[in-house]
Amino acid sequence: MLINEAWAQAAAPGGADLMSMLPIILMFVVLYFVMIRPQMKRAKEHKAMVEALQKGDEVIAAGGVLGKVTKVADNYVTIEIADKVEIRVQRPAVQLVLPKGTIKGAE
């Protein structure tokens, strides 16, 4: 015949099972250090920035709204975006605190 008979190999000892799982475990470790850990660090920094908001800070809120914080409450921040024009946004909507004097230069 043209095709030889195939014989099954004996199962390798328990160490071979771990070696076959090693690439998958390695992928999860790399995924943690490349994606998950930096995202957790950014979330922690954003939370600290939001908690440190105070009256007079110049901020950029969600959607690119630029303004100065006039009131700070537990869950909301009031931002003055123009003379006598104020909006209330949730604290987590504040994306970035700008250096003092940035808004004057943007006008």
The pLDDT value given to residue 102 = 85
Chain segment 49-99, per-residue pLDDT in tens: 999 999 999 999 999 999 999 999 999 999 999 999 999 999 999 999 999
pTM: 0.70
CATH tag for 54-106 (out of 2.40.50, 2.30.30, 1.10.10, 2.70.98): 2.30.30
For 50, residues 6+ apart whose C-beta sits below 8 A from its C-beta are 91, 92, 94
The ranges assigned to domains in the chain are: 14-52, 54-106
Q: Do residues 32 and 40 touch, judged by C-beta distance below 8 A?
A: no
Residue whose C-alpha is closest to residue 26's, from 34, 14, 16, 38: 34
pLDDT tens-place string over residues 43-52 = 999 999 999 9
Q: How many other C-beta atoms are found inside a 10 Å radius of the C-beta of residue 76? A: 13
